[in-house]
Amino acid sequence: MAQLTHQIVIDDLVSRFGGDIYDYAEPHALPTFSTSAERILDILEYLYFHPQFKFQFLTDLCGVHYPDQKGKELGVVYHLHSLTNNLRLRIKVYVPSDQPKVPSATSLFASANWQERETYDFYGIIFNNHPNLKRILNVDEMDYFPLRKEYPLEDRTRRDKEDKYFGR
């Protein structure tokens, strides 16, 4: 069997899912592409159950916030790993911040459970069909999602911290 490469995986995905695979790039040798929230679970399932690819290890799941991207402000980033082929893959899903809904990957990966809770906790992304979607690191009474960009860490009104005093 020929060595599985990124190109084979991506070609196969494109032939299977067509236009749902977009923005393909390989930053620092890690193949990355985006897809829509409707198709993400199909793609994850396809990669999981594929007899050769076997992307059965969810390394990492986290959120990103791009307040300037209209209609796709919130992102979920999946890092998959195929341990049999030693290939990594990064998949991104963008959703609008007024409808932040992504299907949960807990049916495939038990490790997604807490990681999705964490992403919900910090970004307010709602994972449909998650068994226990509630805050994990922050207190339950919080009514905002702290890692979003509209919550800066420092008080920006402080005059003594203005950049002009430092020659910037």
Partner 1 sequence: MGSRQVQPDDAIYMNELVTLNLGPTHPATHGVFQNILLMDGEKIVAGEATIGYIHRAFEKIAEQRPFYQITPLTDRLNYCSSPINNMGWWMTVEKLLGVEVPKRAQYMRVIMMELARIADHLICNSILGVDTGAFTGFLYVFQQRELIYEIYEEVCGARLTTNMGRIGGMERDFSPIAIQKIKQFLKDFPPVMREFEKMFNRNRIFMDRIVNVGAISAERALNYGFTGPNLRAAGVDYDVRVMEPYCSYQDFDFDIPIGESGDTYDRFMVRNEEIWQSLRIIEQALNNLPEGAYYANDARYYLPPKQLVYQSMEALIYHFKIIMGEIDAPVGEVYHAVEGGNGELGYYLISDGGRTPYRLHFRRPCFIYYQAFPEMAVGSQLSDAIVTMSSLNVIAGELDA
**Which of helix, strand or coil describes residue 61?**
strand
Which helix (H) or strand (E) covers residue 155, if one does?
none
d(CA 94, CA 2): 34
For residue 121, the minimal CB distance to partner 1 (Å) is 9
The partner residues of 25 in beta bridges, in order of sequence, read 32
The reply on whether position 85 binds partner 1 by CB under 8 A is: no
Window 17-56: residues binding partner 1 (CB under 8 A):
27-28, 30, 32, 56
Give the per-residue contact string, 127-156, with partner 1 (x = CB under 8 A; - = no). Answer: --------xxxxx------xx----xxx--
User: Alpha helices of the chain — where are they, by DSSP H?
Assistant: 6-17, 40-49, 112-123
Does 88 contact partner 1 by CB under 8 A? yes
Place of tokens 């919550």: 151
The residues binding partner 1 (CB under 8 A) are: 27-28, 30, 32, 56-60, 62, 64-65, 77, 79, 83, 86, 88, 90, 109-111, 113-115, 118, 122, 135-139, 146-147, 152-154, 166, 168
